Structure 1
Amino acid sequence: MRVMVMVKATPESEAGQMPGSELIEAMGRFNEELVKAGIMLDGDGLKPSSKGVRVRFSGKDRTVVDGPFAETKELIAGYWIWQVQSMDEAIEWVRRCPNPMASDSEIEIRLFFEPADFGEAFTPELQKREERLRQQIESNQGTERR
């Protein structure tokens, strides 16, 4: 099963305070463990919400709202995408993670939808289209990443 592991923002991360070399090193070691174990598929840190925007949808209307956004506890400062056998395994990996922030912090783990979750609505034709898109994304990643 795939999970998204989200590092919640803190007032410090929203203020743009960068981690020190000790934390960067500790997180690097943790990421190495994840990669060696075949768990980590992707991951990165995110800049503060002051550098982001939200797009609100209302029918056919779209409204762009510039950051920063008020509720720090609802914001994400970084993420991983992991391939694990169970939620328990994901929890055990998060328990091993260094605190990703200088102050108290929180990490949220969420399951990705799998094709079977959509039932009959996810027809064989739609599944083939999805697979083609995933293959294209994989081939683009080597040339377009960063």
Structure 2
Amino acid sequence: MLKEYLAALLDGIQYPADRSITKDQIEAAKAAGLVIVFGASDDLMELEGAIRDEFGCYDGGTALIDAEGLLPERENIEDDDELREYFKRKPMARKIEALWCKEDGYSWTYSTDIPHSTFDVLDGEDHYCRGIVFALADLGPQVTS
């Protein structure tokens, strides 16, 4: 499955997206190495598919991601081993910026240099979120020890 195809399948789903994306779509995304990114509430970036996680981003924020998944937020790391792992992964990590109410008519949009396709999440007939789909392979290789 290609990211463009999955984005086209998801286009027009209803908010909350985590209830509109089917288990089959999530499994197909996972098998194809695709990641689906969408907003939830006023403070979350959700990831489904090849990476399943969430990023707290009240009023917007920037997540760092690599082939292993989301990097933890630096200020929340207390363990030395986790800190070493963070600094090892950070140089290869890519950014996904969650933008809260920055584009007319959308609560959530995303900005990233990761090649991606977009889809709209609707709240009734209104736009709620412009989500993205990207391939895990476009994040580069996993960091090895």
TM-score (norm 2): 0.27
Higher relative contact order (CA 8 A, sep 6+): 1
TM-score (norm 1): 0.27
Choose 1 or 2 for highest CA Rg: 1
